[in-house]
Structure 1
């Protein structure tokens, strides 16, 4: 991971944010800090700052005058920032959101809709000519996943296998073979690599999100013609906006309302588009709260039985 000068700037910002002990919006701290876990801080900073600037401009009535972005290299570091009050608001995937809830008591604020999609699901797929017809047929075979931070291409597939009585087991390489009763998996790092590994027969199956399955940049049409879906999981939230548990309620409620209203405000259009293609924000309804609760239970089980 190459942080360079921007990484140094992020660390300096962490120190500046940590120096203020008062919650955002109270006397002594007029700064709202937006956090993101990132392996590309330069690119993500440009995606986050425009929406943060828009939000801050709407929050002067609760004492917010400035916005800062703080990157973390992983969930552990972000959890530390949240516990110490260095970050107020975090935008993350659903799996990472529940992990931060467990580690730092971060609270869901809103669900994030991207490109008109507020929830999605995981898709297990194989080559069209594969003998694998259902999940149970993956016993003794190999599977390509993305990385441990992925909700759709790691957490959900892992718990799906466990719920089907299958034992996921990490392999040293694609040439390694799992025991007869297990499903061996490797990390392919990207959705395109997952599709390529399955298409070329490097592994028996792969998993990507439904959004990535429909994106030709990640699953090319030339590959897709030779692939076949064997399972679609239940849907789960696409992304979640979180806040630290001790954030000033006035700031929390105002932030929530500003984000809810943003999709109807022409001034926010460009900032939302740069914010990972966001098309709107929604309150966490009972159905999606159940999904988040389910992901939380899944995370515990995967940590205990897979990792």
Structure 2
């Protein structure tokens, strides 16, 4: 069996926790093979520098959703998870995970959500979305699902999933759909299939995701405060020495030329940063909002 296949098939339901010399890196994934190739080089780099705390082997374990990763963390099957901020906060709240570091990608550690609609839609505020529809990316997205959904709920706006773009929400509700990609999102709004969309400012500024021909017809009617882009978390009962050494190795990686290629493959990561008081406050808000979305919407 190939290394990739054995790693991806690592998770049989009856399997116990890994031996203590094995560091398991987890990821929630809808494309395990592609993500394995992005994760493994950095995992190898890290494991090679953790022999002093008893780590001699590394493995990758994929989960299909937050619920499955939650189970892996609780049962000690995963030690370290790289996740979006909202996903990490759900794992912190429901599986006792601990935030280890803030992840900077392409030099960016924070981003925010942009709400947009057609200029001729008449939509100029969140309140204008009552009785209208909004498109999100997918159920795992922080900027294009959890943050906007939580904001709408905080304004006592009921979210109602639509069967298709042709479906209509109730007068006091906001109908929502998932488009899977940012280009689909901008296309659906531009073609009048949905009334509004919400995505990260980074995606909004990417012409492959929001073409200039579309953007000319759009207006941004709200932008949120910034929040962390991604996080590295560990299971709550991971050996303190292992967690401390993992943190040290990751922080040093951005300054080590030997880690450059592995960092680039790891979702274009440029640095791992400490979680300061401001970031912790941002994460607390995200955890509260994401938890409400799970309870009230899902």
Tell me, yes or no, if the aligned pair for 1:7 and 1:41 is still in contact at 8 Å. no
Give the superposition deviation at 1:10.
4.3
Tell me, yes or no, if the aligned pair for 1:112 and 1:240 is still in contact at 8 Å. yes
Q: Does 1:13 align with 2:10?
A: yes
Give the superposition deviation at 1:129.
2.3
CA 68–6 in structure 1, closer or farther in 2 if over 3 Å, else same: closer
Tell me, yes or no, if the aligned pair for 2:4 and 2:36 is still in contact at 8 Å. no
Name which of 38, 43, 48 aligns with 2:34: 43
CA 184–7 in structure 1, closer or farther in 2 if over 3 Å, else same: farther
Q: Which runs of 5+ in 1 are unaligned?
A: 23-28
For the residues of structure 2 that align with 1:261 and 1:17, how far apart are their CA atoms? 37
Give the superposition deviation at 1:188.
1.0
Name which of 165, 177, 185 aligns with 2:176: 185
Q: 3-state SS of the aligned residue for 1:99? A: helix
Residue 304 of structure 1 corresponds to: 295
Residue 127 of structure 2 corresponds to: 136
Q: 3-state SS of the aligned residue for 1:98? A: helix
Residue 162 of structure 2 corresponds to: 171
For the residues of structure 2 that align with 1:16 and 1:183, how far apart are their CA atoms? 39
Q: Which runs of 5+ in 2 are unaligned?
A: none
After TM superposition, the score normalised by the length of structure 1 is 0.92
After TM superposition, the score normalised by the length of structure 2 is 0.95
Residue 239 of structure 2 corresponds to: 248
Tell me, yes or no, if the aligned pair for 2:90 and 2:291 is still in contact at 8 Å. no
Residue 209 of structure 2 corresponds to: 218
Residue 286 of structure 1 corresponds to: 277
Give the superposition deviation at 1:114.
0.4
For the residues of structure 1 that align with 2:41 and 2:284, how far apart are their CA atoms? 31
| Number of residue pairs the alignment of both structures matches | 297
Residue 263 of structure 2 corresponds to: 272
Root-mean-square deviation (Å) = 1.9
Residues 206-251 of structure 1: per-residue CA shift (max 9 Å, x gap): 0111111112222122222221110001111100101001111111
